[in-house]
Amino acid sequence: MKIMRALSILSLSMMSSILSASEIDTAISSQEHGKLEYTFADIAGDSSIAMKGNQSVAYLGFGSRLDQVITGGSLHLEFYPSPALRASVSHLRVFLNNELMDVIQIDSDPSTPKQSQTIALDGRFFKNYNQLKFELNGQIDAQCSDGNDPALWWELSSASAIQLDVRNLAIANELSLLPAPFFDARDFHDVTIPFVVPQGLSLTNIHSVSNVASYFASYVKWRDIEFPVYSDTLPGRHAVVFATNNARPAFLKDLPRITQPTIQMVSHPDNPKVKLLLILGADELQLSLAVKGLAASNQLMAGEVAYVNQVQNLQVRQPYDAPNWLPTDRAVRFSELIEGGYQLESQGVNLAPINVSFTLPPDLFTWNDNSIPLRLNYRHSPPQEGTVGSKLSVTVNDGFVRAFSLDSEGTSKQQQIWRLPVFGSESFSESQNLKIPGFKAATTNTVGFNFELAKSVAGECQGSSSSIQYAAIDGNSTVDFSGFPHYIRMPNSQVFASSGFPYSKMADLSETAIVITPQPSDKEIELLLETVGFISKKTGLPAYRYTLLDTWDETQLTDKDILVLGVQSATEFGLASESLAYVNSSEDGQFMTAAVKPEKGNAQDLAKFNGQPATVSAHLSTRGGFASIASFESPVTSNRTVTVLSARNQQSIPLLKKALTENSEQLSGSAVAITKYDITSYQIGDHYFVGSLPLYDLIWYHFSDRPMVMVMVALLLVMGFTLLAWRMLRAYASRRLGSTMEHRND
């Protein structure tokens, strides 16, 4: 309460010198109402939403923030109806939480294939979680129509948008809400959490601040997150504030003396609907203890304030146990890979594919492996009697793997296991053992199951049923990646961009050291927060065990994977590497040679890089923004990685974040040059391997692209075994001959 009182008094004194009382009321009132917008691409991806067949249904879900209430809104739809649809009877019904909002009829003018319409959404029917449902009722022929005709379709453009009117709420100062309202899982937008820090942060305090950033980042999943840093000023939105007795933002100079590690939620002094999370400690050690309490015990906190007395040793992590990664030491049930059972179900006239996604460690070695076991249990509505061609198709990363027959002839043998599921549709259950080709395994995988149940057509306008069908994958189905070794060729900027590897191998970053420039600027601190947050987003765990340095201290860098961050950071620490030589920069200009051809390798390796034949080295003087990512083997410990994220100047730092979040698919190789408009990757210098393989796999992998060497090795082995066998047989024959001669002499 003392803290809150101090903030309120300080704020009123600041505002009274600038605004009148009526102006203050107007400023606060203007913050009570606002608008939000989601495009369909924000919710469902960049592809349009296809509806096929009469009575086909599509769903879109979105949430309402804890600190906001939706008072109304509108739905702006852009769509392409099939030109074969009859305009007089075909229509699309739009529901919000199962309440009919409007009916859309197609334009009879065939010259306008793309159409649009805006629908008002009644504010009375919004909830914490909301669902839009689109139901197509279409007809082609005037007399009768086959509801499954391929010409019966409707496409909803991903540019369609939901616009919401919201009213901001004053929620309680309650720590049990964390990470809300700073991050709200029901909000699908990208996340911005301002961090307010005192000027001249010590290295220990910077480490504490970055741990809080990783705590919030571990929740955001697919969203991007950024942490703008404020020194001595308070932003007008939810923010996190750090202070000790000797280092505190200027607006907290009148804050009572801090005596113990404290975590407190208070209202913003200018707007009670905005919250501040105060992380306080009397000194650096107490601030660090408060941060550890937030990361380890936030589920136990309640009320406005929590005092952290002590934190027991946080759980020691094991390699590859990141919460967001698929476990590779056991078979994993599909129910562990989804947020709700609805993700394993499909219903409609034409069944939409059921997709199961998971993330694998990027160094999982599945090369040349025949299969990955998948035990599949599924249910579906029975195919219509007398039909053929019903099947279940399985894809991995959009690549076809296998199809199973679901014809009625096959189901008649299984009648005894038909049952009536809970959802009330007659269903047929089956179980299959499936082998997924090992080469399909990638860092991020999607296994798709597409049920196609045949329908009979007995004659014109007969038997063309458009009844609802059901299919489901049992949550007890399993996929098993256990037994695969970990082995990968490095350096590889792509695996860092896609999963934070090799630093994310230990989800708490306990085998990582981060080196930043001494006395970092606010922009460099932002780079640290967002880089650590980027890795925590990939793992789903706060990164609280890494080592933070501002000098190149080899005693503390031994047996560590190293991240180097900052403006001209490689030059700052005197790092030398062939990778760095191609992306080195200075304030006066950037130094780069022309593109180089990747080092020799097989065609698949060469295709990964966009290098050109070497031409000439050049010194390019430019005033434009420039940043780079360079990766190479650690000079301190072999088979460890150094990744340097360097910017030419303060204004170039945002290029690094943009490259890692928006353009990560363009990153590869050991050196990446980043400008405002282009990203160029190179494979330069020596490579090395991280992990281990059984001897047999090790030999075959490294000689797989050298068939003549393998032939020579095989011939040498055959000759060696032949010579050995010949010598053994000769020795055996000599002994037997000698024994025979001795027997005769006797």
Return the pLDDT at 334: 92
Return the pLDDT at 724: 84
How far apart, in whole angstroms, are the C-alpha atoms of residue 242 and residue 262? 10
Tens digits of per-residue pLDDT, 320-378? 999 999 998 899 999 999 887 788 988 877 788 899 999 989 888 876 665 778 888 88
Element spanning 15, H or E:
helix 2-16
How far apart, in whole angstroms, are the C-alpha atoms of residue 225 and residue 218? 10
Q: Is the pLDDT of residue 408 over 60?
A: no
Q: Is the pLDDT of residue 15 over 50?
A: no
Return the top range by mean pLDDT from 39-48, 204-213, 410-419. Answer: 204-213
Mean per-residue pLDDT for 200-209? 93
Return the top range by mean pLDDT from 638-652, 706-720, 732-746. Answer: 638-652
Quick one: the chain helix, strand, coil %, rounded to 5? 25, 30, 40
Beta-ladder partners of 118:
76
Contact 265, 173 (CB under 8 A): yes
Alpha carbon distances (Å) from 495 to 219, 488, 503, 606:
21, 10, 10, 17
CB-based contacts of 693, cutoff 8 Å, min separation 6: 365, 485, 487, 701
Tens digits of per-residue pLDDT, 217-273? 999 998 999 999 998 789 999 999 999 998 888 888 888 899 999 999 999 988 889
Mean per-residue pLDDT for 637-659? 92
CB-based contacts of 74, cutoff 8 Å, min separation 6: 118, 119, 120, 121, 162, 163
- Do β-strands 191-192 and 229-231 pair in parallel, antiparallel, or remain unpaired? unpaired
Q: Is the pLDDT of residue 309 over 80?
A: yes
Return the pLDDT at 399: 81
What number of residues does the chain have?
746
Nearest to 346 by CA among 452, 454, 444: 452
Omega before residue 635 within 30° of 0, cis: no
In terms of pLDDT, which residue wins out, 100 or 455? Answer: 100
Q: Is the pLDDT of residue 457 over 90?
A: no
Return the pLDDT at 463: 45
Return the top range by mean pLDDT from 18-27, 48-57, 134-143. Answer: 48-57
Encoded tokens for 256: 């009572």
Nearest to 326 by CA among 485, 539, 508, 532: 539
Share of the chain above pLDDT 90, in %: 35
In terms of pLDDT, which residue wins out, 187 or 695? Answer: 187
CB-based contacts of 523, cutoff 8 Å, min separation 6: 229, 650, 653
Return the pLDDT at 595: 37
Choice among 144-148, 149-153, 647-651 with the minimum mean pLDDT: 144-148
DSSP H helix total and E strand total for the chain = 15, 40
3-state secondary structure of 457: coil
Tens digits of per-residue pLDDT, 584-610? 666 555 554 433 334 444 434 433 444
How far apart, in whole angstroms, are the C-alpha atoms of residue 87 and residue 228? 52
3-state secondary structure of 208: helix
Return the pLDDT at 556: 94
How far apart, in whole angstroms, are the C-alpha atoms of residue 167 and residue 175? 22
With b for 16 or more beta-carbon neighbours within 10 A and e for fewer, the 405-415 pattern comes to ebbbeebeeee
Q: Average model confidence (pLDDT) for the chain?
A: 80
pLDDT band at 20 (very low <50, low <70, confident <90, very high): very low
- Looking at 300-449, list the stretches that DSSP marks H as alpha helix, in order from N- to C-terminal side: 408-411
Q: Is the pLDDT of residue 423 over 70?
A: no
Return the pLDDT at 73: 94
pLDDT band at 706 (very low <50, low <70, confident <90, very high): low
Q: Which residue has the tokens 């804890």?
A: 66
Q: Is the pLDDT of residue 479 over 80?
A: yes
pLDDT band at 56 (very low <50, low <70, confident <90, very high): confident
DSSP state, residue 541: S
How far apart, in whole angstroms, are the C-alpha atoms of residue 712 and residue 725? 20
Return the pLDDT at 643: 94
Q: Is the pLDDT of residue 616 over 50?
A: no
Return the pLDDT at 590: 52
Share of the chain above pLDDT 70, in %: 77
Q: Is the pLDDT of residue 386 over 70?
A: no
- Looking at 607-706, list the stretches that DSSP marks H as alpha helix, in order from N- to C-terminal side: 653-661, 695-703
Return the pLDDT at 287: 94
Contact 281, 297 (CB under 8 A): no
Q: Is the pLDDT of residue 644 over 90?
A: yes
How far apart, in whole angstroms, are the C-alpha atoms of residue 294 and residue 300? 10
Return the pLDDT at 9: 35
Mean per-residue pLDDT for 123-146? 83
Single-letter residue type at 76:
H
CA neighbours closer than 13 Å in the CB half-sphere of residue 653: 22
Return the pLDDT at 392: 87
DSSP state, residue 262: E
Omega before residue 179 within 30° of 0, cis: yes
Tens digits of per-residue pLDDT, 534-590? 999 999 999 989 999 999 999 999 999 999 999 988 888 888 777 776 676 665 555
User: How far is C-alpha 387 from the geometric centre of its chain's CA atoms?
Assistant: 42
